[in-house]
Structure 1
Amino acid sequence: MTQPPPNQHFPFSAVVGADGPDGPDPMPLALILTTIAPDVGGVLVRGEKGTAKSTIVRALAAVLPPVDDRPVPLVELPIGATEDRVTGSINIESALAEGRAEYEPGLLAKAHRGILYVDEVNLLHDHLVDLLLDAAAMGRASVERDGVSMTHDARFVLVGTMNPEEGELRPQLLDRFGLTVEVAAPRDPALRAEVVRRRLAYDVDPAAFVARYAGAEAALRSRIAAAQALVGAVRLTDAGLLKIAEVCAAFDVDGLRADIVTARTAVAHAAWSGRDQVTLDDIRVAARLALPHRRRRKPFDAPGLDEDLLDQVLGDEELPPEPEPEGPDDDPEPPGPAPEGDGAADDTDDTDDTDGEPVDVPAPEPDPAPPAGGDGAGSTPSNVAPTGATYRTRLLTVRGVGAGTAGRRSRARTSNGRRIGATAPTPGAGGAIHLTETIRAAARHQFARGRTEGRLLLRPADLRVAVREGRESNLVLFCVDASGSMAARRRMEQVKAAVLSLLLDAYQRRDKVGLVTFRGGAAEVALPPTHSVDAAAQRLEELPSGGRTPLAEGLLEAAHLLAVEHTRDPQRRPLLVVVTDGRATSGADAVARSRMAAGLLAESGVASVVVDCESGPMRMGLAATLAEHLGAEHVPVGEVSAEALVDATRGRAA
């Protein structure tokens, strides 16, 4: 087996689906269209791991026509990049050695007239995603930092790939990607075998494999170049523009970005197809790429497009040709009603050709969700309570200042945010150099170091890095009692609604979430800590109830899970939410074991809250006792509502 030469990637045209008889699959087609018309706004590729997302993106640059007789640059942005790495900053070497504030370009400048690729873009901090999308939309980037103030061109094609299982992009950021495609591994055994066959052939002899597809690569490059030359001359008629507006309105998208992106994509597809005027087929392709991710009404709703509605709105009749401009001698007929019986049709009369009745374009209906916990063919099982209405929560933060992963929740020392000071660098840790404080630390030693003139004499001990305060993400672990004593339908509806509302908030604030449930004779990790709050919401919807109450097992499982997570990520601070009536009825010495488990959690210092779900006129106060042993905030049953649960959690964590 030979290694591929440097910068020699798997050929774009060799990816299964990029060379189909009916044209490229949605992912390669979206990449091609956004390179034909970069103002489309880039592409976000969402899909499970192992679906050639990165392979085809890295192969894209090789099939693009050269820019100024040089290959199109492909710049990869690592998810751990800092803001100064992205936008550029002052050149430390020239500043220290020569005293000149010289700008050192960042990744945005290097990607100019090329492709900027972000793998796992959903794990990139939100403020960097905002920065990338702003630069991609405006075609330039501004730098205001470290004494540098400048603006430079940054016209590039932004391509992001992500695995939704690792967490979603916020809807505000998702909407700003021009096109989005969903990819999955083929289920056809023949296609899967062909994928493996090509990959093995490439691994055995990369040079020979690339040479085999050289002709296809050259043909694709020529076609893209022709489309880039033609795109400026493609006409989008008023009828076509009106049809795009009808499609966007029918799918109830927010704002006008969808209309603009759909129009630009339709023009690019017409150029790709060698046409000088947009057709219905171009609009159909554009809508499939530009609209699905803009229809999401809730963070947990899966993107999708109703093909029947799309066909109904577009209709069967092709767009009329653009009318010829009127000459000076033309004498247009004065406006008036069309003559009867001459076959003329009023194009403002939206009627069906078969019966002459008006046709109402229906608003899209949400996709029906499968029954929670069922098999998709029946009703919800009787021991699974539905979820009550969700609501927006206020900010929930953990007390103090942490040092966890950058996020949008609690105060923390992070690699981004406002600069509040400087400190000596910690071995093995990164951070932007604080130039002023570095010079100040070195200045006091210049005489002792023998400096009389010339450049500043620096030592490693002089270096200072900026201390920044921003926001971190946290781990919110729910420990939910699902035993028979909690199975009252209304009670579980309120609990589920509250937990789901907190999940919505965690989705927006980049938190990790986990879910432990206990019922019968054991506890279960329904969901290990993850960024995929979609998965947590699904587990919550499917949560059954009934049986005895293994409270100790639930608390011990939560303690074990938090300990493991602390080992994996020691800087992420947790918040434990225990939802129970405090009863412990499973196994011998159930009460004593539950108090022991609560003591272990209290010793660990985990911030927690106990929501007391005990009801009825005779109350034993077991949850209040549990809260004492846990060192947690206690919330009585009268406050167990969706709003009260969040208020209690916020009050304990703030």
Structure 2
Amino acid sequence: MTEFDPGLQAICLLAVDPQGLGGLCLRGAAGPARDALLATLRRLLPAETPWRRLPLQVDDERLLGGLDLGLSLAAGRPVAQAGLLAEADGGVLLLPMAERVDAGLAAKLASALEQGASRFCVVALDEGQSAEEQLPAGLLERLALIASPAAPDLAAGLAGLSEGQALPFDLAEARQRLARIPYDDATVEALCGTAAALGLQSLRAPWQAWRAACAAAAIAGRDAVTQADAELAARLVLAPRARALPQAQAEAESAQAPEPSASPEPQPSAPEAADASPPEPSEGEQQAQQLQEQMIAAAQAAIPPGLLASLAGVPTKGGAGAGRRGAAARPAQSGRPLASRRGSLRAGSRLDLLATMRAAIPWQRLRMLEREQQGLAPVLGQTSARLLLRRDDFHIKRYRRPNETTTVFVVDASGSQALNRLAEAKGAVELLLADCYVRRDRVALIAFRGEGAEVLLPPTRSLVRARRSLSGLPGGGGTPLAAGIEAAWLLGSSLQSREGGRAVLVFLTDARANIARDGSAGRGAAMQDALAAAQRLRAEGLASVLIDTSPRPQPAAMALAQAMAARYVPLPQGQAAQVYAAVARVG
């Protein structure tokens, strides 16, 4: 198999074991190289292999199967139609523009791949250019292989392979050999260790890597997995999913190791030293450790530049793609269409006629017999009714409209460092306001100092108004942290419950509370009131981030962030751009 192109290697592995690997995620813009890879995959597979293209706006009837409305009306009886998943049984389901797939469609595909009801694989074409435009994590986890199309100068060679050149291996022979490859404990253990070193916690990834290694061995004509097969699997399966660098993990472990004591300890005697020495590893353990180190090096070399930097943020609770698309508080009458549901025709609701007819057609014969038994006259004076509808058949159209997001800055304006924090908040607000013109989002500002909190800037998109409010913000005094959290809780709850939007709370504080909720001084009571307010905020389900502005990360700030289920970001020397980047990951 070719060694220069990961994309070509990935499609060769997928052709040998499509159901075992689940599929392939091809990342990169559309072009001749990607088209040549897809054409090569079609040529590698048998000619009778199904190949179906899945549109993003597919409905449940077309995806999962259901009633064929036209044939049912013509035949006078229910006529079922097969869905795309059934049509792709034993073949390939092509998913273009995969970065735009919504969570519902991704969940249906992931469930079908997990259950194995339809034996197919998914080829997802991901053209996303940023961290926000990615294939949903639930579906990506079930696609073993992740690769990018070849460079443009290699597209011609791939096109020639797909058109006239001989295939690089015998597919039927490779699949027969794949079923005979034995399980290797040492290789699987090394793959698990490699996944752990790259920060992967799921056991699905090392198992997918083992399946890829077996496919690579089958293509090469080997009856067992070798080191080269395991390294190839690590590059194609584990490296693109890496969330940590092995060196960084080793440095973290060394940093956590206890420092040597300054006072010399008594040396043990010779027999005690001999008993305390660790046992020598066996030859098999040494080989397994060496194999794991080589696979880690191979996977690290295949990690794309900048990948770990884009994964530095913690994903939000909504998962990939959830972002700013919160569910509407009240039914929307326009926007992106959703699957219709049964309901009553109330004021403002819109009837989905096709879905209503699909629900009524299967029951027409029984309803006709029922009317004849009851001796009812024909509908509208005709000899027979065309279609008998009942209230339970009504399906109502549904829409989803992107909700407005309001970022609420809750700034600690107390103490001698207030001016620095306010400058950071001002710069972050101005950076966010620049994006509001595009996203139609809003920002708000709450400051707490002295004995209470005050909403200085109600939700707005006006950059001039934000600058004016920030410029006149005073600083100094005590730290009523509980009052600030409660004010943010009230404003965020109002935005989400009454206006139907989404609120993101951003706290800039060192968490050194010294003013209780009743206005009395005392650090103990003030911190207890702050933790109680944080728990109420967590129960409300508001998205939040706590930026610790103290010179060193404080345990009190970490405890407060945990109490409110907020993302904790230590910024001892916060800059406006850093604050903006931290907020953007949550918002």
- Mark yes or no: TM-score above 0.5: yes
**Aligned partner (choices 452, 455, 460) of residue 383 of structure 2:** 452
**Aligned partner (choices 413, 420, 425) of residue 343 of structure 2:** 420
Q: Kindly indicate whether residue 382 of structure 2 is the aligned counterpart of residue 401 of structure 1.
A: no
**Aligned partner (choices 444, 469, 475) of residue 616 of structure 1:** 475
Paired with 1:351 and 1:280, the residues of 2 have a C-alpha distance of 10
Q: Kindly indicate whether residue 34 of structure 2 is the aligned counterpart of residue 53 of structure 1.
A: yes
Does the residue aligned with 2:202 lie in a helix, a strand or coil? Answer: coil
Q: TM-score normalized by structure 1?
A: 0.51
**1:267–1:391 CA distance, 2 compared to 1 (3 A):** closer
Given that 1:398 and 1:653 are in contact with CA atoms closer than 8 Å, whether structure 2 keeps it comes out as no
Q: Give the number of the structure whose residues are more often helix, by fraction.
A: 2
Structure 1 residue aligned with 2:103 = 126
Q: Kindly indicate whether residue 369 of structure 2 is the aligned counterpart of residue 432 of structure 1.
A: no
Given that 2:209 and 2:237 are in contact with CA atoms closer than 8 Å, whether structure 1 keeps it comes out as yes
Shift of 1:402: 1.9
Within-5 A mapping of 1:605-644: 614-616=473-475
**Aligned partner (choices 402, 414, 431) of residue 517 of structure 1:** 431
Given that 1:270 and 1:276 are in contact with CA atoms closer than 8 Å, whether structure 2 keeps it comes out as yes
Given that 1:612 and 1:640 are in contact with CA atoms closer than 8 Å, whether structure 2 keeps it comes out as no
Does the residue aligned with 2:178 lie in a helix, a strand or coil? Answer: helix
**Aligned partner (choices 59, 64, 71) of residue 82 of structure 1:** 59
Given that 2:436 and 2:442 are in contact with CA atoms closer than 8 Å, whether structure 1 keeps it comes out as no
**1:260–1:213 CA distance, 2 compared to 1 (3 A):** closer
Matched to 2:475, the amino acid is G
**Aligned partner (choices 158, 179, 198) of residue 122 of structure 2:** 158
Shift of 1:55: 5.2
Structure 1 residue aligned with 2:232 = 285
Given that 1:87 and 1:109 are in contact with CA atoms closer than 8 Å, whether structure 2 keeps it comes out as yes
Does the residue aligned with 1:415 lie in a helix, a strand or coil? Answer: strand
Does the residue aligned with 1:467 lie in a helix, a strand or coil? Answer: strand
Given that 2:27 and 2:146 are in contact with CA atoms closer than 8 Å, whether structure 1 keeps it comes out as yes
Q: Structure 1: which 5+ runs fail to align? A: 1-20, 141-153, 200-208, 297-303, 311-342, 373-386, 407-413, 500-514, 530-561, 563-574, 582-593, 602-609, 619-635
Within-5 A mapping of 1:136-285: 136-140=113-117, 154-165=118-129, 167-182=133-148, 186=151, 192=153, 195=155, 214-216=163-165, 218-220=166-168, 222-285=169-232
Shift of 1:307: 9.7
Within-5 A mapping of 1:16-35: 22-23=2-3, 25-35=5-15
Matched to 2:421, the amino acid is R
Does the residue aligned with 1:168 lie in a helix, a strand or coil? Answer: coil
**Aligned partner (choices 563, 570, 577) of residue 443 of structure 2:** 577
**Aligned partner (choices 476, 481, 487) of residue 405 of structure 2:** 476
Given that 2:191 and 2:206 are in contact with CA atoms closer than 8 Å, whether structure 1 keeps it comes out as yes
Given that 2:77 and 2:361 are in contact with CA atoms closer than 8 Å, whether structure 1 keeps it comes out as no
Paired with 1:470 and 1:595, the residues of 2 have a C-alpha distance of 26
Does the residue aligned with 1:32 lie in a helix, a strand or coil? Answer: helix
Q: Structure 2: which 5+ runs fail to align? A: 251-279, 412-416, 448-457, 498-587
Paired with 2:281 and 2:203, the residues of 1 have a C-alpha distance of 33
Paired with 1:178 and 1:125, the residues of 2 have a C-alpha distance of 20
Shift of 1:181: 2.1
Given that 2:342 and 2:394 are in contact with CA atoms closer than 8 Å, whether structure 1 keeps it comes out as no
Q: Kindly indicate whether residue 63 of structure 2 is the aligned counterpart of residue 115 of structure 1.
A: no
Structure 1 residue aligned with 2:494 = 651
Given that 1:477 and 1:577 are in contact with CA atoms closer than 8 Å, whether structure 2 keeps it comes out as yes
Given that 2:21 and 2:144 are in contact with CA atoms closer than 8 Å, whether structure 1 keeps it comes out as yes
Q: Kindly indicate whether residue 26 of structure 2 is the aligned counterpart of residue 41 of structure 1.
A: no
**1:243–1:198 CA distance, 2 compared to 1 (3 A):** closer
Shift of 1:611: 10
- Between the two proteins, the alignment pairs up a number of residues equal to 424
**1:595–1:79 CA distance, 2 compared to 1 (3 A):** closer
**1:223–1:308 CA distance, 2 compared to 1 (3 A):** farther
- When structure 1 is superposed on structure 2, of 487-496 and 78-87 the one drifting more is 487-496
Within-5 A mapping of 1:319-468: 345-348=282-285, 398-403=328-333, 414-416=337-339, 418-421=341-344, 432-436=355-359, 447=378, 451-453=382-384, 456-457=385-386, 466-467=395-396
Given that 1:47 and 1:162 are in contact with CA atoms closer than 8 Å, whether structure 2 keeps it comes out as yes
Q: TM-score normalized by structure 2?
A: 0.56
Shift of 1:110: 0.8
Matched to 1:30, the amino acid is A
Structure 1 residue aligned with 2:539 = none
Given that 2:360 and 2:388 are in contact with CA atoms closer than 8 Å, whether structure 1 keeps it comes out as no
Shift of 1:472: 5.2
Does the residue aligned with 1:164 lie in a helix, a strand or coil? Answer: coil
Q: CA RMSD in A?
A: 5.8
Given that 1:90 and 1:104 are in contact with CA atoms closer than 8 Å, whether structure 2 keeps it comes out as yes
Does the residue aligned with 1:347 lie in a helix, a strand or coil? Answer: helix
Paired with 1:638 and 1:595, the residues of 2 have a C-alpha distance of 21
Shift of 1:429: 8.9
Given that 2:106 and 2:138 are in contact with CA atoms closer than 8 Å, whether structure 1 keeps it comes out as no
**1:178–1:91 CA distance, 2 compared to 1 (3 A):** same
Shift of 1:83: 1.4
Matched to 2:396, the amino acid is V
**1:646–1:424 CA distance, 2 compared to 1 (3 A):** closer
